[in-house]
Amino acid sequence: MAEENELELFTEYAEKILNLARDTITVRYRFFDAALNKLKLKSMPGSLCYETNGEFLYYDPIKLLNEYKDEPNIATRLLLHVLFHGIFMHSFRFDKTNENYWNLATDIAVENIILDMDIQASHMTKDDEERTVISKLKKWVPKITAEKLYREFAVGGLSQDSEILYKQLFTMDRHRKRVNIKEEPDMMITEEDWKKISERVKAELESFSKAGSTPESLKENLGESTRKRYNFDDMLRRFSVQGEEITVNPDEFDYIYYTYGLSKYGNLPLIEPLEYAEIKKVKEFVIVLDTSASCRGEVVKNFLKKTYDILTEEGSFFNKVNVHIVECDREVQRDYKITSLEEFKRLTSEIKLTGFGATDFRPAFDYVDDLIKNKEFENLKGLIYFTDGFGIYPEKAPDYDVIFAFLGESEHRPHVPTWAIKAVLEEENYEH
């Protein structure tokens, strides 16, 4: 009984410390109130960690009180750290294949913002050491965001010593694991909930910034988290058409009669399976590769490999296809006609780019229009233009869907026409 009373007392003290920290943050930054109110406190004695599922902040009261003795600002720092993970929707980036690198990148990014905010009530003894590490990272990643850090780690790798140091310095809460990268962690508050909170914070931050200073790192990360993302897989499937392919049609075939005939009459089934089925897959489309000086060969090859993988991994590609892969800078340089998956796969490694002049998108569209006039396509559904985006766009929309696929964001890039789809690809998946 005495131990239970003591634990209740510890939990009460820990909760008061966390509530005081919550008030300290909202007094200075009122636009965080909605996000902080979403995080309810939940004592989890003996866990030796802090963790959140988007709705509850689970904490070990004994751990918090012990750390509070040496670091009186631990509660404010913890709340800010967890809060930014939620606002920037770090838990919902299921596309990050190296979960360990992503967790490190997000921890460093939020700690960098907290240091930039310079709230007296969040200062800790590790701050100077964190600043030293971040200043070194800024040599490779001038603007620290989780996306940019992850890309640097994924492309350049991390030494074991660096990984250990980053975890010791920047990790504050335990990230919720998933069994595989496609599985969503168990989140009580949905991505849509946090997206609304992020949009509100972003809107209020803009008006708040006019009255006082706001860290640039906070704006950078907010812009990144609220940026609209497109699923490139889904975009490719927009190009699918209805067609016949040799296969057993499960809707037209009754296995009961079939197996009964075999058992009753030996090798004489009562019915034969249909040899075709109507299915919707990708059959015809065009890929235009920008071969201007800014688009490097390896990046283009990796883009082709990624496109091939998407179209084949779920059987969304007909075996017999009609795909044109066109190289173009300010004029069409070459056209590879692909008629099978084997040819497509072979080209992803063997293609040699030509051109490397200035960029003009119009010649590629004129070329495809000529192909259509010459009956090269039966029913062309779409075109993907892989480019840096710095070129002259056609004024008129074509009769097929168009995706302009860019590698990374750029504020200096000309606006994409309203009739086209803009896809910003994650750079670490294409630069190896």
pLDDT at 54 over 70: yes
- 238 and 198 fall within a common domain: no
Q: Do the domain assignments include residue 172? A: yes
C-alpha span between 34 and 176 (Å, rounded): 23
- 108 and 57 fall within a common domain: yes
Domain boundary among 194, 225, 256: 225
Q: Do the domain assignments include residue 290? A: yes
* Amino acid sitting at position 153: F
Q: Are 330 and 363 in contact (CB under 8 A)?
A: yes
Distance from CA of residue 244 to its chain's centroid? 35
Cross-strand bridge partners of residue 245: 277
Average pLDDT over residues 369-397: 89
Confidence of residue 181 (pLDDT cuts 50, 70, 90): very low
Confidence of residue 47 (pLDDT cuts 50, 70, 90): very high
- 174 and 238 fall within a common domain: no
DSSP classification of residue 388: -
DSSP assignment of 294-337 equals TS-HHHHHHHHHHHHHHHHHTT-EEEEEEEEEEEESSSEEEEEE
Instruction: Quote the pLDDT of residue 320.
Output: 73
pLDDT at 189 over 90: no
- Residue found by looking up tokens 């690198």 in the block: 101
Q: Do the domain assignments include residue 399? A: yes
Query: What total number of domains does the chain contain?
Result: 2
- 214 and 237 fall within a common domain: no
Closest CA to 284 of 241, 252, 343: 241
Q: Which domain holds residue 361?
A: 233-242+282-429
Q: Do the domain assignments include residue 310? A: yes
Q: Do the domain assignments include residue 267? A: no
- 179 and 238 fall within a common domain: no
94 against 89, higher pLDDT: 89
- 417 and 374 fall within a common domain: yes
Hey, what are 126's tokens?
A: 């590790």
Q: Do the domain assignments include residue 86? A: yes
pLDDT at 384 over 80: yes
E strand segments, 189-316 = 240-246, 276-290
C-alpha span between 307 and 343 (Å, rounded): 14
Confidence of residue 73 (pLDDT cuts 50, 70, 90): very high
Alpha-carbon distances, residue 215 vs 83, 170, 212, 411 (angstroms):
16, 19, 10, 19
Instruction: Quote the pLDDT of residue 382.
Output: 86
C-alpha span between 414 and 352 (Å, rounded): 28
Q: Do the domain assignments include residue 22? A: yes
Instruction: Quote the pLDDT of residue 62.
Output: 95
- 359 and 290 fall within a common domain: yes
Confidence of residue 355 (pLDDT cuts 50, 70, 90): low
- 237 and 214 fall within a common domain: no
Q: Give the CATH number for residue 305.
A: 3.40.50.410
Q: Do the domain assignments include residue 202? A: yes
Instruction: Quote the pLDDT of residue 68.
Output: 96
Average pLDDT over residues 184-204: 54
- 293 and 310 fall within a common domain: yes
- 304 and 424 fall within a common domain: yes
Average pLDDT over residues 53-66: 90
Residue 341 CB: number of other CB atoms within 10 A?
17
- 396 and 352 fall within a common domain: yes
